[in-house]
Amino acid sequence: MDAAALEQRSLPVPEGLNAPEDQVIELARVWWNGTGPIMNIRPALAEPGNIGVVLAELAWHYSHAYAEHHGFDQAAAFKAIRDSWDAAHAKAAESVQSEPAQ
């Protein structure tokens, strides 16, 4: 799939970005290729812990969207997201622990 076709499938810039232009920044662009995520990220927040807040907000909004658009119970969708996060996080933690110290 070429870049132009992908751009046609991309999400619009959200409304409500009322901060000054120099304070608004896209943090991530994530695509699913059928087997897993492909992404570009920008580590622009001064505190890495703030990304945890972003991820928690994403999980809540996704659970709400699954309830609204696909008929899932929001609490069940949120639990499924958290359960898969826990499993994926454990796997990622293993790879970080096995990397040689720099």
Predicted confidence pLDDT, tens digits, the chain (102 residues) = 788 898 889 999 899 899 998 889 999 999 999 999 999 999 999 999 999 999 999 999 999 999 999 999 999 999 999 999 999 989 988 888 776 665
The pair phi, psi for residue 46, each rounded to 5°, is -65, -35
Q: Which residue has the tokens 């699954």?
A: 66
Looking at the structure of the chain, the number of domains it has is: 1
Ramachandran quadrant class, 31 (left: phi over 0; alpha: psi -120 to 50; beta: rest) = beta
The answer to whether 74 touches 63, Cβ cutoff 8 Å, is: yes
Give the residue numbers spanning the domain of 70: 3-98
